[in-house]
């Protein structure tokens, strides 16, 4: 009794939904695909198509039980200039073998036919995944070719074809060298200064990890590019890659702190609170481990707690700093004063401090001499990044100012029937242009008449703004 051949489902043996269980050849294919996509500089739409194809192909390999057997070294994707049809390479080979179509004219000699065919019965010079002709045409061509060749010629063709296929060297399945010994620290060997950030899905490969001397050169390169107005997306990607190389090599020293501090400040400038919080979380641990705390960066942490209404954490941090005998400088003193005034809704004192800081910033700005290069390892002012001493503090303070202004308007709307717009401008530290833009943006300008703000009428709008102000959704928050 004949039996149907059944391919065993290897997916039943392993949970391939976990990337850690994927074969190394597949991880190599994924890395190579992302590298090629980066070299091709795909458009956003093409990048989405590439990622969708990659995901679909991996799921296809899992569902068909071919994730271990598919030759990932020769796999291609349509969006990266590969086969026109998205399919596993092993499936393409099997389909080509079954069809056995000869595209050469019948009059061509047997030897010439063999010479111009590859193992998939396609002319040399064309990719093995080129589009095949329609089914009816294939059958007709196949029938004509078989009738034109004698039995002996067909045997010779078949023999030559399989001989050529067997002579093709097999793909190299030798594993990529990775660091697997947990008792010895990994030391990278990569010499490239710039490297894109890719999330690790397996053990790190020393050949793709930069050692400490190279990372120091990379930091200098990135700060020079920052001073030359490089884009934030580029800088953030490169800094995350540096942080990853430091982490996998267990490098925790003064240079590590410097990398996180630079990234932290650049994230503040571009209002990326997610990356800022990740850097701050690591800096908090590094300051304790290495015993080199920075009052300036602790003050940024306090401002972050104000923004996220995490007042308990702010006071717990203050207790820890006092226990560690850390001297409170002007940064920390100012941050905790702002915390106090925010909690008590004392907007008069809050905006008095804000105005004072803005005046200091403007005064220093008059004498500031920007430079095109700073030595990040030796220059004490390198962390200023061509800005004033209070620039980054004020940048992080901006979303807090917006929050306090809404809360202050809510208090004002309950305390007055009408109030002069000039008084509101003074109380909330607005310039003329800022106030007009703010009233228009919040739609409060409709309640202004002859220079007076109707507090009773604007109260529902202000309360609505205040309720929206409570919603805080920050990517990367821990």
Is 296 domain-assigned? yes
Strand partners, 448: 453
Transcribe 255-309 into DSSP letters: HHHHHHHHHHHHHHHTT-HHHHHHHHHHHHHHHHHHT---HHHHHHHHHHHHHTT
Contact 200, 19 (CB under 8 A): no
> What's the pLDDT score for residue 193?
94
Q: Is 172 helix (H, G, I), strand (E, B) or coil?
A: coil
What DSSP designation does 147 have? Answer: H
> What's the pLDDT score for residue 327?
86
- Do 411 and 319 share a domain, yes or no? no
Contact 424, 435 (CB under 8 A): yes
Contact 222, 237 (CB under 8 A): no
Is 135 domain-assigned? yes
CA distance 89 to 77: 10
- Do 30 and 139 share a domain, yes or no? no
- Do 403 and 444 share a domain, yes or no? yes
Is 200 domain-assigned? no
- Do 277 and 356 share a domain, yes or no? yes
Domain count of the chain?
A: 4
CA distance 11 to 66: 9
Q: Among 146, 207, 152, 147, which Cα is nearest to 176's?
A: 207
| Axis crossing angle, helix 254-269 with helix 391-415, rounded to the nearest 10 | 40
What CATH number does the domain containing 402 carry?
1.10.10
Q: Which domain holds residue 440?
A: 398-469
- What CA dihedral angle connects 76, 77, 82 and 85, to 10 degrees? 110
- Do 293 and 164 share a domain, yes or no? no
Instruction: Give first-to-last CA distance, the chain, whole Å.
Output: 64
What DSSP designation does 228 have? Answer: T
Q: How far is CA 415 from each of CA 258, 380, 408, rounded to the nearest angstrom?
A: 49, 49, 11
CA distance 385 to 266: 9
Transcribe 322-335 into DSSP letters: HHTT----HHHHHH
Is 95 domain-assigned? no
- Do 106 and 141 share a domain, yes or no? yes
H or E segment to which residue 457 belongs? helix 455-469
CA distance 134 to 288: 70
- Do 212 and 333 share a domain, yes or no? yes
> pLDDT in tens for each of the 478 residues of the chain?
444 444 444 444 456 766 777 888 888 888 888 888 877 888 888 888 888 888 888 888 888 888 888 888 888 888 887 777 888 888 888 887 777 544 444 444 444 444 444 444 444 444 444 444 555 555 555 555 555 566 666 666 665 655 554 444 555 444 555 555 656 788 999 999 999 998 888 888 899 999 999 999 999 999 999 999 999 999 999 999 999 999 999 999 999 999 999 999 999 999 999 999 999 999 999 999 998 899 999 999 999 999 999 999 999 999 999 988 888 899 999 999 999 999 998 999 999 999 999 999 999 999 998 888 889 999 989 999 999 999 999 999 999 999 999 999 999 999 999 999 999 999 999 988 889 899 999 999 999 999 999 999 999 999 998 888 755 555 544 4
Indicate the burial class of 159 (C-beta count within 10 angstroms; 0-12, 13-18, 19 or more). exposed
- Do 12 and 70 share a domain, yes or no? yes
Contact 62, 19 (CB under 8 A): no
Q: How far is CA 224 from each of CA 234, 371, 388, rounded to the nearest angstrom?
A: 13, 10, 18
Question: What pTM did the predictor assign?
Answer: 0.62
> What's the pLDDT score for residue 397?
95
- Do 271 and 307 share a domain, yes or no? yes
Q: Among 195, 222, 237, which Cα is nearest to 376's?
A: 222
Is 177 domain-assigned? no
Is 355 domain-assigned? yes
CA distance 337 to 97: 77
Show contacts of 47-54: CB within 8 Å, 24+ apart. Answer: 49/79, 50/77, 50/79, 50/80, 53/77, 53/78, 53/79, 53/86, 54/30
- Do 227 and 161 share a domain, yes or no? no
Is 79 domain-assigned? yes
List phi, psi (to 5°) of 264. Answer: -60, -45
């Amino acid at each position: 009794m004949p039996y149907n051949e059944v391919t065993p489902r290897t997916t039943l043996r392993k949970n391939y939904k976990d990337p850690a269980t994927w074969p190394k050849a597949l991880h190599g294919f994924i890395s190579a695909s992302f590298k090629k996509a980066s070299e091709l500089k795909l458009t956003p739409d093409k990048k989405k198509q590439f990622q969708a194809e990659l995901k679909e192909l991996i799921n296809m390999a899992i569902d068909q039980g071919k994730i271990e057997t598919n030759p990932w070294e020769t796999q291609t994707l349509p969006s990266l200039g590969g086969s026109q049809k998205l399919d596993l390479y092993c499936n393409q080979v099997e389909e080509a073998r079954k069809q056995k179509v000869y595209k050469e004219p019948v009059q061509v000699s047997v030897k010439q036919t063999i010479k111009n065919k590859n193992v998939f019965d396609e002319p040399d010079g064309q990719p093995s995944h080129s589009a095949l002709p329609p089914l009816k045409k294939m059958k007709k061509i196949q029938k004509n070719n078989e009738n034109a060749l004698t039995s002996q010629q067909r045997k010779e063709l078949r023999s030559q074809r399989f001989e050529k296929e067997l002579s093709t060297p097999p793909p190299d399945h030798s594993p990529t060298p990775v660091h697997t010994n947990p008792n010895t620290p990994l030391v990278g060997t990569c010499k490239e200064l710039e490297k894109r950030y890719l999330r690790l899905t397996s053990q790190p490969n020393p050949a793709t990890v930069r050692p400490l001397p190279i990372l120091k050169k990379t930091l200098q390169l990135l700060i020079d590019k920052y001073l030359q107005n490089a884009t934030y997306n580029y800088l953030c990607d490169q800094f995350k890659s540096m942080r990853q190389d430091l982490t996998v090599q267990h490098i925790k020293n003064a240079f590590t702190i410097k990398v996180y501090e630079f990234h932290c400040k650049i994230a503040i400038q571009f209002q990326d609170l997610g990356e800022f919080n990740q850097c701050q979380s690591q800096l908090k641990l590094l300051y304790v481990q290495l015993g080199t705390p920075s009052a300036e960066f602790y003050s940024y942490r306090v401002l972050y707690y104000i923004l996220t209404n995490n007042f308990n954490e702010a006071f717990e941090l203050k207790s820890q700093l006092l226990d560690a005998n850390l001297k409170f400088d002007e940064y920390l003193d100012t941050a905790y004063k702002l915390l106090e005034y925010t909690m008590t809704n004392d907007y008069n004192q809050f905006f008095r401090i804000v105005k004072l800081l803005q005046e200091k910033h403007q005064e220093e700005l008059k004498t500031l001499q920007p430079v095109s290069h700073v030595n990040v390892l030796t220059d004490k002012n390198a962390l200023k990044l061509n800005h004033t001493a209070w620039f980054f503090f004020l940048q992080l303070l901006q979303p807090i100012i917006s929050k306090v202004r809404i809360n202050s308007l809510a208090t004002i709307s309950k305390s007055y029937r009408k109030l002069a717009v000039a008084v509101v401008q003074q109380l909330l530290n607005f310039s003329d242009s800022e106030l007009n833009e703010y009233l228009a943006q919040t739609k409060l300008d409709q309640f202004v008449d002859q220079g007076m703000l109707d507090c009773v009428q604007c109260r529902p709008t202000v309360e609505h703004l205040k309720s929206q102000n409570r919603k805080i959704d920050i990517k990367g928050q821990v």
